[in-house]
Structure 1
């Protein structure tokens, strides 16, 4: 029996040409539509130890809210200059330490009270990381994390230096008088005076 050549119709040729693409589309559909269930277990073990307990008698009397826009640059010999622009929010608090008041610091004479308060101090200066943000970076690439960390530290140093030059301690003295005077007057003393040692 003679072998005859089988001729595909034009429609069959198009079908066989599209068949691999059709199979690929169906496989992709099943792959994408299948829901993979990935169970992630997170476990943290803590061993907390209270290292020190301190009695704190610091009375916070004034708080400064500070904003700073900082451009921090890093130059090296073999890498291009990298820079980061930060918008920083910080706060500084002035206080007096009431634990430093001794019996000898309080003088009572009839209806007059004289209280010698300790010198005001800056309790802390800290960056508010929640409200601070990185505004822009240039050429930082893999150095971005360390560059941002450097910038925050530089900002904290600069803000601390500026706070020390500000009127925060004078304001703390004024507020100490305003806060404590009514309390002592409430004890029956008409004349109340404060000094700062």
Structure 2
């Protein structure tokens, strides 16, 4: 019991010292962001998005230099590509109506955009990247975007856009009272 009373003041002093030091020397950080947003341009968009491809790419990107060890990064990239038709190009001359038949000449489908979903993409692993990791990851994302864009252009996204245009637009035009609807692409 005597040892307990001898150690108790030191224990109290030690705990009090810990709390004092942790509160006194704790590092508090605050973050402040000031934004000044400016709408630069407002555009009317008449593009009808008809198909969306969701794409995954597993990419190993390497950077070789003469004086540094080979650095590499492994990414799992999620992206999407959208096929659409620009309805702002459709004029009255593109629509022919005869009794109960409507013929609509639509513009050729196009790839609206290909973009990487950075929220779903992940940097899986980096090796020997030390001070150049950010640059290496940025290069890898750019390479992935270029590759995905070229592969989407080779895919059947435009044919799928045409098919979906017929399945979306025909019922709308038929709902206007036309029994025969024909969609063509110029």
The TM-score, its normalising length taken from structure 2, stands at: 0.88
Query: Among 80, 92, 97, which residue is 2:86 paired with?
Result: 97
2:71 alignment counterpart:
82
What is the aligned partner in structure 2 of residue 57 from structure 1?
46
In structure 2, the CA distance between the partners of 1:141 and 1:104, relative to structure 1 (3 Å rule), is same
Match of 1:154 in 2: 143
Deviation sequence 1:146-172 (CA, Å, 0-9, x none)? 101100000000000000000000000
Q: Which residue of 2 aligns with 1:30?
A: 16
Unaligned runs of 5+ in 1: 1-21
Aligned length: 176
Deviation at 1:39, TM superposition (A): 6.2
Q: 1:70 aligns with which of 59, 67, 77?
A: 59
Counterpart in 1 of 2:3? Answer: none
1:136 to 95, 108, 125: 125
- Measure, in 2, the Cα distance between the counterparts of 1:44 and 1:85: 32
Report the CA distance between 1:145 and its aligned residue.
0.9
Structure label with greater radius of gyration: 1
Q: How does 1:103-114 map to 2 (within 5 A)?
A: 103-114=92-103
CA distance in 1 between partners of 2:32 and 2:77 (Å)? 34
Q: CA RMSD in A?
A: 2.0
Report the alpha carbon displacement of residue 114 of structure 1 after superposing the two structures with TM.
0.2
Over 3 Å counting, the alpha-carbon distance change for 1:179 and 1:69 in structure 2 is same
Deviations 1:6-29 (A, max 9, x none): xxxxxxxxxxxxxxxx97x87653
5+ long unaligned stretches in structure 2 = 1-8
CA distance in 2, matches of 1:67, 1:193: 36
Shift of 1:142: 1.0
